[in-house]
Amino acid sequence: MANQQIGKLLSWYATAKRDLPWRGTTDPYKVWLSEVILQQTRVVQGLPYYERFITHFPTVSDLAKASEEEVLKLWQGLGYYSRAKNLHHTAQHIATVLGGVFPKSYQELVKLKGIGDYTASAIASFCYNEPCAVVDGNVYRVLSRLFGVQTPINTPAAAKEFKALANELLDKPRAGEYNQAIMEFGALQCKPQSPDCKGCVMNEKCLAYHKDKVDKLPVKLPKVKITHRYFHYRVISDTRGYTLMERRGEKDIWQGLYQFPLLETTGDLSEAEVYVLLKEKYPKAVDIALQPKAFLHKLTHQHLHISFWKIELAEVLAQGIPPTELEKYPMPVVMQNYINKDK
């Protein structure tokens, strides 16, 4: 990118950038936290989570001292829960092994769990002005359109190609400011849908604009096949009104979160068929009822067909949990929504 174009980009950023709490800081903890939260999350959704985390855990040491359940509870609703688990693990590593001091270079940052090329580049450039180009979805879009790059952005080849291009264009003396400027430009100006190309400060050099390909770039290969899963949650209630919860295992969605005992079936069973299975499991149940109707919950690569079944037992559950304590447990948002509606 020519010096003239860099100047236009930085001038645009100086007047158009959003006032965000992590912007302007060189505190690597705050930058790291914001970048992890904003992975696969829009700013408007991630901002309240960032503010809650900073309030509860002002420093990386405070985050390290928290229990995993506390971290997951604050993260509840953001999805991609492995981000929260990696965040907590790395905070503990920094607090204990590194004495509470963040690494000060890309090469050291990228060694930390959950910190890949993008996040390491962001921290290194924003906080230490290290000349590392940041390539996120916004940067992919800007570079693809400016230079007419046809390589599908969700391929390994694209990662290398766009990283090399981004490093070649990087304004090294002002690496941190430049990285934030091009990311913000993609978020606010060079938007995925209906960008204002005529009023864009970069349109003079934009190949996509001049070749009428703005709506065709960047190129992205079709998503992977969607998997359908069938979840039937057993909302058990004993004579005291106590219920049961279980923790989800590793290597699956919502790992480490809590849920009502789950019956997962391999196919789409009818209400009557599920009822028979539950009746066999709880032959002495006072009542078994579907409440409310089954619904669809869509994740990136999975569609979950979810139903909640109320099961009343004429006995006392040994591991029963009072309903008033359910709020303490980190759980998937579908579970929290059910509990809130049932109050």
Q: Which residues are catalytic?
A: 35
Phi, psi angles (nearest 5°) of residue 319: -105, 25
Residue with tokens 């920094």: 94
Q: Is the dihedral of CA 313, 314, 319, 323 positive or negative?
A: positive
Distance CA(109)–CA(251), nearest Å, equals 25
Would you state the structure tokens that stand for residue 31, as one six-digit string? 């930058």
Distance CA(55)–CA(265), nearest Å, equals 41
- Provide the β-strand partners of residue 296: 305
Helical segments of the chain, H only: 3-16, 28-38, 43-56, 60-65, 68-75, 82-96, 106-109, 117-128, 137-147, 156-169, 175-188, 207-210, 271-281, 333-341
Is residue 262 helix, strand or coil? strand
Would you state the structure tokens that stand for residue 172, as one six-digit string? 């090294």
Q: Which amino acid is at 181?
A: A
